[in-house]
Structure 1
Amino acid sequence: MNEADQQALTGAVIKEHRLDLGQLWLEFVSLGGDASEGVIRDYCAGETSLPPKERDALAQAVNEHCAAEGLPLRAPFSDSLLFLLHPQRTDPYSSK
């Protein structure tokens, strides 16, 4: 998955579930992430980028939080395949 897609999808999960970025940052750091809380806020707002290791640590923090709360959406990892998240239609003009 490219960086822009991962960033957009992770940000969407955070926004949809109204996750607390301060708490996510603490979980991110406990998983080995080393970006500052401000950088994580900027990343989630689409204002900066992160290397794959940092993006994946944040996705893991988001996913662990979602799992603990029973929330359905999950953030993708850098090696996630986008087409698995959104199955392609056989007919591009079909709504099925």
Structure 2
Amino acid sequence: MDAVDQQALTGAVIKEHRLDLAQLWLEFVGLGGDASEQLIRDYCDGQGTLPPKERDALAQAVNEHCAAEGLLLRAPLSNSDLFLFRPEWHDPERKDPYSSK
């Protein structure tokens, strides 16, 4: 996944669920993240960048928090594929979204 897409999607999940950045930062550090809380805040606001290892540690912290709270949205990892949703793929009769059948 492109770093810019990962940043935007992670920030969107954090904002959508109104996650506490101070708490996320503590969880991020617990997962081996090494960036300061201010760098994480800047990243989530689209004002800074992080290397893949740090982005993934933050995404993992977000996802673990979301899972514990029963929240559905998740942050992508750097090796995730960017999946674009198309409404016609939601048809329960259609088994393969890439098939024309």
Superposition TM-score, scaled by structure 2 size: 0.84
Aligned-pair Cα RMSD in Å = 1.0
Give the gaps of 5 or more residues in structure 1. 90-94
Give the gaps of 5 or more residues in structure 2. 89-101
Superposed displacement of residue 78, structure 1:
0.1
Matched letter for residue 58 of structure 1: L
Rg (Cα) greater in structure: 2
Superposed displacement of residue 2, structure 1:
0.3
Q: Which residue of 1 aligns with 2:53?
A: 53
Superposition TM-score, scaled by structure 1 size: 0.88
Tell me the alpha carbon deviations over residues 31-69 of structure 1, each in whole angstroms, 9 at most, x when there is no partner. 000000000000000000000000000000000000000
**In the alignment, does 2:25 pair up with 1:22?**
no
Q: Which residue of 2 aligns with 1:35?
A: 35
- d(CA) in 2 for partners of 1:2, 1:74: 16
Q: Percent identity?
A: 78
The number of equivalent residue pairs is 88
Q: Which residue of 1 aligns with 2:91?
A: none
Moved over 4 A (4+): none
Q: Map of 1:1-96 to 2, 5 A cutoff?
A: 1-83=1-83, 86-87=84-85, 89=86, 96=88
SS across alignment from 2:46: coil
Superposed displacement of residue 75, structure 1:
0.1
- d(CA) in 2 for partners of 1:29, 1:18: 20
